[in-house]
Amino acid sequence: MLEKGRISPRQTGQLLFITTIATVIFFAPSLIASLAGHDAWLAALLGPMFTLITLLLITWLGRKHPGQTIFQYSETILGKWLGKAVALLYVWGFLHIGAMAVREFGDFMTTSFMSHTPISVFNFSMLLLCAWSVLVGLEVIARMNEFIIILIVSFLLLILFFSLPNWELDYLLPFFARGPLPVLQAALIPAAWHGNIIVLAVILPFMTRPTRAFLAGTAAIFASTTLLTIGVVGMTAIFGPELSSSFLFPLHLFAQTINIGQIITRFESVVMTTWMAGIFIKTSVFYYCAALGLAQVLNLKEVRPVVLPLGIILGTLSISLFQDVTMLGNFLKETRPYYTISLYFLGLPLLLFAVTLIREKIFGVCFGEQTNEA
């Protein structure tokens, strides 16, 4: 067994919540607004529809193959070579999403706070910390997250609360003026981030009670959807849809508008803290999944030997994936939703699901359940 730690369903839910909210609330709102206009909040609310399908698939697969991660059961289902290929695809997926998160963080820091510092400083120091948490294992990440979640949620709520005097809810109208199509299209954007729930396919076997996985996942999705929707409502009410779609980091500017009696102002650093803490957990989780996946594909006895090489790959990717922030923005808006959803969040789980069903129903293979693990 590569991972000895066990996490409770509550910790799992918290982990999933932070991996989704940490980046979605920073980047998604302006992208959603640029597509859905006044109905951005509706799109934010509809986003998880897609994610629930993913969640259903991976918990079902997890129940069929107790004690196995997605890397292992893809091999069980598809056979050795095809299974390893799918597992490697997932390793790449986790690396890619993790590298993007690090890049988003680095770009945010260099544009908003420290414009003279090279981006590699932020990316590599963040990854160094993440590498350490990957080495100590999932349980440590989950426990650390229990503290960080308080930080993030309370800070986000604080910002929303203090910005309330600037809200003008009139800007949410007209409702549904452009019809359902832009809304549905925009709903794919938060779905692309909520799809991060796919990490559950890796951490599910390490839960103390895997049967509660679906519950934990649903709770995480709904919590982050609620927070995102409130954020989008606030953004539209403060800036109006036309203006917010022109921003790069709307939450950051959102915090800039806070000015209560000239004293309670400049909340950007609070935004930075939240963002940094969130990215740390998110990257750690993705980094961990990639490392564990690679170790399992290669049948290693422990994760340790792959952590450093993967970290270097992550760091290099985070810098070389995008030339500039415009490219990052375009990728996040136009390519990423379709790419991640169709491949990692829906495509491959559906394939595994279908093959499992076919092999069971038609060829009479019986998967897993007879081991009857508690």
| Residues at the site binding another protein, with contacts judged by CB under 8 A | 111-118, 121, 166, 170-171, 173-174, 177, 238-240, 242-243, 246-247, 253, 256-259, 262, 265-266, 268
Please tell me the distance from the alpha carbon of residue 224 to that of residue 18, in angstroms, as a whole number.
8
- 256, with CB counted inside 10 A (0-12, 13-18, 19+), is middle
Q: Residue 150 or 264: which CB sits closer to another protein? A: 264
Please tell me the distance from the alpha carbon of residue 298 to that of residue 310, in angstroms, as a whole number.
14
Q: Provide DSSP, 168-199.
A: -GGGGPSTTTT-HHHHHHHHHHHHHHHGGGGG
Amino acid identity of residue 326, one-letter, is: T
Q: Residue 50 or 249: which CB sits closer to another protein? A: 249
Task: State the helix-helix crossing angle for 347-361 and 80-112, rounded to 10 degrees.
Answer: 160
Q: Residue 235 or 289: which CB sits closer to another protein? A: 235
Please tell me the distance from the alpha carbon of residue 121 to that of residue 114, in angstroms, as a whole number.
11
Residue with tokens 């809304």: 183
Q: Residue 9 or 250: which CB sits closer to another protein? A: 250
Question: Which residues 6+ apart lie within 8 Å of 39 measured at CB?
Answer: 175, 176, 177, 178, 182, 183, 186
Q: Residue 115 or 323: which CB sits closer to another protein? A: 115
Tokens of 79: 């056979």
Least distance CB 92 / another protein (angstroms): 33
Least distance CB 203 / another protein (angstroms): 28
Least distance CB 9 / another protein (angstroms): 33
Q: What angle do CA 25, 27, 32 make, to 5 degrees?
A: 90
Least distance CB 114 / another protein (angstroms): 4
Least distance CB 158 / another protein (angstroms): 16
Least distance CB 284 / another protein (angstroms): 19
Q: Residue 32 or 306: which CB sits closer to another protein? A: 32
Least distance CB 120 / another protein (angstroms): 11
Least distance CB 240 / another protein (angstroms): 5
**8 Å CB contact between 318 and 123:** yes
**8 Å CB contact between 188 and 332:** no
Tokens of 193: 């981030």
Q: Residue 173 or 362: which CB sits closer to another protein? A: 173
Regarding beta strands 264-265 and 259-260, do their DSSP bridges make them parallel or antiparallel, or are they unpaired?
antiparallel
Q: Residue 241 or 349: which CB sits closer to another protein? A: 241
Of the candidates 149, 126, 114, the one whose C-alpha atom is nearest the C-alpha of residue 11 is: 149
